[in-house]
Amino acid sequence: MSWFKRPNPNLQPDDDGEPNGDGDVNSGQDFGAESTFAPVSDDGSPTRVRTEGLWVKCPGCRQILFKAELEANLHVCPKCGHHFKIGARQRIDLLLEPGYSLVDGNLRSTDPLNFTDIKTYKSRLAAAQKQTGLNDAIITALGQLGPHAVVLSAMEYTFIGGSMGAVVGETIARAIDRSLATRHPLVIVSASGGARMMEGVVSLMQLAKIATGLAQLDEARIPYICVLTDPTTGGITASFAMLGDLNIAEPGALIGFAGPRVIEQTIRQKLPEGFQRSEFLLEHGFLDAVVPRAELKSYLIRALDFMKN
């Protein structure tokens, strides 16, 4: 029973036309119960207005945002500019022109160590594949970024934290090979918690494997741009995320190797304000630019205009 009541439609009006309120104090109705003021469906039955999932709280300014407005603004808070995480598919749609093609999406991990902690690695993979509809934490697409034909790889953070195992490493290596074969620029959008330790040394081997391929791109003078988003940490930062000809980040992205808490506990010192955020790294020379999401596509097009000439 709700703490408030709706007027009983059966109350008789006084001479002035208003309900007299006489009768049992329990004669009122709950908010969702049938009344003359409750919304009704076509068949006359009472309905409830569904509001679940229509609103989002911004972690930056703590404002309550209308979800449709947030999506229309590219998942950037219109109040404070906080950049929400977005998926790999959304990232590709944001950057590439319609008509792109997805490649190398059929690779699956074989669980080389038969790893088990609280759950088996196989069960974690199956759950992530069901949740995301992807075979692993990356998508590669071939398409047009403005007037430029590019090879674009985007990481999916919701797939086991965007961690890099053998499949992610092999997918990026194949993207590099495609870029070498076609001489199209390579763009990688990173969003990851680091190497996938459920695959042990196999995941760590991907760092050297990818770095070797990027060295070949450099020798062939084919542009490689890395876009760092929130978060980019661990073995991803230690490999391809910091090896671009141009390293760009979104505002407020967490970028680093170890997390701030681990560093504070290790050096026993308080870290400066904004440490490991993209603006801090730009100020200290680790990044070339910090670009808002709405301007990212045009910025990449201008950069490729310059680099290809």
Q: Is residue 32 part of a domain?
A: no
Q: At residue 26, does pLDDT exceed 50? A: no
Q: What is the mean pLDDT of the chain?
A: 88
The whole-number average pLDDT for the span 201-209 is 95
H-state helical runs in 145-233: 166-182, 201-219
What is the radius of gyration, based on Cα positions, of the chain?
26
Q: Is residue 188 part of a domain?
A: yes
Q: At residue 40, does pLDDT exceed 70? A: no
Q: If you search the block for the tokens 């990044």, which residue do you land on? A: 287
pLDDT computed for residue 31 by the predictor: 45
Q: Is residue 260 part of a domain?
A: yes
Stronger pLDDT, 33 or 217, i.e. the higher one? 217
Q: Is residue 105 part of a domain?
A: yes
pLDDT computed for residue 53 by the predictor: 78
pLDDT category at 86 given cuts 50, 70, 90 is: very high
Q: Residue 42 has what DSSP assignment?
A: T
Is residue 232 within 8 A of residue 243, CB to CB? The reply is no
Q: Is residue 39 part of a domain?
A: no
Q: How far is CA 165 from CA 112, 162, 205, 207, 233, in A?
A: 11, 9, 9, 10, 14
pLDDT computed for residue 308 by the predictor: 80
The whole-number average pLDDT for the span 129-158 is 97
- DSSP run (H or E) holding 190: strand 186-192
Domain that holds residue 147: 86-308
H-state helical runs in 110-200: 121-132, 166-182
Query: Which among 159, 154, 156 is positioned nearest to 172, based on CA atoms?
Result: 154
CA distance 277 to 251: 8
Burial of 206: CB neighbours in 10 Å, binned 0-12, 13-18, 19+: buried
241 three-state secondary structure: helix
pLDDT in tens, 208-245: 999 999 999 999 999 999 999 999 999 999 999 999 99
Q: Is residue 103 part of a domain?
A: yes
Q: Is residue 70 part of a domain?
A: no
What CATH number does residue 106 fall under?
Answer: 3.90.226.10
pLDDT in tens, 175-184: 999 999 999 9
Q: At residue 41, does pLDDT exceed 80? A: no
142 three-state secondary structure: strand
pLDDT in tens, 258-287: 988 899 999 999 999 999 999 999 999 999
pLDDT category at 30 given cuts 50, 70, 90 is: very low
Q: If you search the block for the tokens 């440490």, which residue do you land on? A: 275
Q: Is residue 49 part of a domain?
A: no
Domain count, the chain: 1
